[in-house]
Chain A
Amino acid sequence: MSLETANTSNSYLSSLPKTLTGITGLDEITKGGLPKGRPTLICGSAGCGKTLFSIEFIVRGALEFNEPGVFMAFEEKSEELAQNVASLGFDLNQLQRDKLIRLDHVHIERSEIEETGEYDLDGLFIRLGYAIDQIGAKRVVLDTIENLFSGLTNQGILRAELRRLFEWLKERKVTTIITGERGDGTLTRHGLEEYVSDCVILLDHRVSNQISTRLLRIVKYRGSMHGTNEYPFLINEKGISVLPVTSLTLDHPVSSDRISSGIPALDKMLDGQGFFKGSSILISGTAGTGKTSIAASFANEACLQNRRCIYFAFEESSHQIIRNMRSIGFDLQTHIDKGLLKFQASRPTLNGLEMHLVAIHRQIKEFKPSVVILDPITNLITVGTVSDVKSMLIRLIDFLQAEQITVLFTALTLNNVINEQTDEGVSSLVDAWLLVKDIEFNGERNRGLYVMKSRGMKHSNQVREFIITDKGLDLVDVYLGSEGVLTGSAREAQQLLEETGIVLREYATTRKDREIERKKLILESKIASLKEEFESVQDELNKTYIEDELRKEVMQKNREQMTRSRHNE
């Protein structure tokens, strides 16, 4: 047995060999699937999805893992079964023709049968064995074998034979699912859990606040680690998906790549580059402050950069958003046509919270977006308590961060004083938090935006005015004057005032310049006349000096002549 771990991943080598079910999420919870070559019991009340669960196990085995399977139905006829699962895209008839699966309906009716002594279930064994041999089955489902108890009366024989059947199935090394109806206080009505000791999975269907949730729990899994929580699961047109409730660790990879918000001025507030890729962003604000517009801008920018984006709208329909965003210059329809953008609009009350989470998971797994938008998360509060919503969002953020998907939430805050503290308590979870606020002043209402926090980057501490134009969104500086923060027309008036000031200043400057020029000219002419005066004085002085020299020379000559004449005498 230990050699047969071929189709389980390496990390499960040490534990017992398992068979992947192919059911979304279940293989993660069970850490590799159901025990290979052993029976697993799936129990639950009527309508909880046992049959669907087991049929998906068979179909996925046949299609994805090349493990043919036998489905032995004790309740529904083969045709009914094929019809019931056709809505999931499973073509049982075709699969039967391809010899990948085999359906066998076991009909048993007490009124038609007389028990006249000792018997055994060899008929069932032969039948099952023949079916297994015919297609080389590796998987078997017995749904619901307990029906034998209503057809046959001799409990002693039945119990002994069931025990023998499960042993026989183990010998045949087929991975088996046995379904059982939930009993009163016991897992199954006839105590099948006694015989199936390896793995027991309980399905449940609960309704609270008029919203139903399907839940799955692994009651027992001998020789294996498994998740012990109740995991919500969803049945939709793609089959079953189970959601692992919590990720246990906080060790997801982080990226230092940046992703633009679509508003250049906002990127500038965020260290000039925008948000981190794979981070979570919260935009909160009161009604009508433009949260959806920011979200749409972000989606638009992502699509323009060829990133895929999925938009979960809980308030407006997709058409409504597309129309509204066209008015501010975002053409979302082209992105949808290109397959880059996907809208998923639903009322929160459509599902329970868990179901929303499962549905979101599923959409994300399918669409593989790099940007996810939830607008607004506040509406989810209608289907759960604050702590429920918070725990759901934690799980969603964990999941998205592990997948390196950037997520943007919008949240409505009520118009009260302590609005910084609401937001479903997610503000502490998110990496970046933008707040859009109404600023009411001077008979008009304007929007102010600021960055409350943005982990891991320098960010502006300024309140900016957030304006929505038909060309898109922009942020402008607000004016802080003696009368407080100025926005809107007051800001514009201030701007005009400043512009006038500039013109006046410029005029004043040119006048001063001319004055200086004139003064300079006067002074320069003064300097010139002084220079000439100086030169004339200098001439005068030079004249007397030369006269003195000449006189000295003449006198010298005269003296020499006189001396000579005296000597001659």
Chain B
Amino acid sequence: MINQSPTQENTDPEDEGQHYVLQLFVTGISLNSVRAIANIKQICEQYLPGKYSLEIIDVHQQKTLAEREQLIALPLLIKRLPLPERRLIGDLSDTKKVLSGLGIIN
């Protein structure tokens, strides 16, 4: 597995892997969705200021996505870049797990 060493964060600015591409799948304005959106925004601003892009997708609006993206549990956060791709489900309230899932901390 090609892996970005989590300890090297913020030290390799030329590596494109350091730019975080995130997609958050939610369902309308359900409680979990609202919480997840708030949580991810806060985490990104705090840990990845200026080097992330976050796309928030309402699955209700794009139902075909559900099958294509193998969605089951929602909210779902997919880290597209840097590789490897990771999937985090839940309202992202467990910050420690989110950070380790995103590879920001070990």
Contacts and interface: CB of A to CB of B under 8 A. Distances in A.
Interface of A: 104, 106-108, 112-124, 126-127, 129-131, 148, 151-152
Contacts of A151: 72
A112 B91 contact: no
Contact of B72 (A115, A116, A124): A124
B14 to A, nearest CB: 28
A254 to B, nearest CB: 58
Given A122-B27, A123-B73, A126-B60, A117 B91 contact: yes
A129 B64 CA distance: 11
Given A117-B90, A118-B35, 16 more contacts: A104-B67, A106-B72, A108-B70, A114-B100, A115-B89, A116-B89, A117-B32, A117-B35, A117-B93, A120-B30, A122-B30, A123-B25, A123-B59, A123-B66, A123-B71, A130-B67
Q: Which of B35, B87, B90, B100 has the most CB of A within 10 A?
A: B90
B84 to A, nearest CB: 9
B67 A131 contact: yes
A116 B87 CA distance: 10
Interface of B: 25, 27, 30, 32, 35-36, 39, 59-60, 63-64, 66-67, 70-77, 86-94, 97-98, 100-101
Contact of A121 (B60, B73, B97, B100): B73
**Chain A at the B interface: SS class:** mixed
Question: What DSSP secondary structure best describes chain B's contact surface?
Answer: mixed
A127 B71 contact: yes
21 contacts: A107-B70, A108-B70, A108-B72, A114-B101, A115-B97, A116-B97, A116-B101, A117-B32, A117-B35, A118-B32, A119-B75, A120-B73, A121-B72, A122-B74, A123-B76, A124-B72, A126-B60, A130-B66, A151-B72, A152-B73, A152-B89
A139 to B, nearest CB: 18
Given A114-B87, A126-B27, A152-B73, A120 B93 contact: no
A129 B97 CA distance: 31
Contacts, number: 102
A112 B66 contact: no
A113 B76 CA distance: 9
B32 A120 contact: yes
Nearest to B73: A119
Contacts of A115: 88-90, 97
A130 B63 contact: yes
A49 to B, nearest CB: 26
A531 to B, nearest CB: 132
Given A123-B71, A123-B74, A126-B27, A116 B91 contact: yes
Given A114-B101, A130-B64, A131-B67, A123 B91 contact: no
Given A106-B70, A152-B73, A119 B63 contact: no
Contacts of B25: 123
Interface pairs A-B: 7 shortest CB-CB: A123-B71, A117-B90, A117-B93, A127-B66, A114-B101, A117-B91, A130-B63
Contacts of A117: 32, 35-36, 39, 90-94
Contact of B93 (A104, A107, A118, A152): A118
A112 B78 CA distance: 10
Nearest to A127: B66
B71 to A, nearest CB: 3
B77 to A, nearest CB: 8
A131 B66 CA distance: 10
Contact of A118 (B59, B66, B90): B90
B89 A119 contact: yes
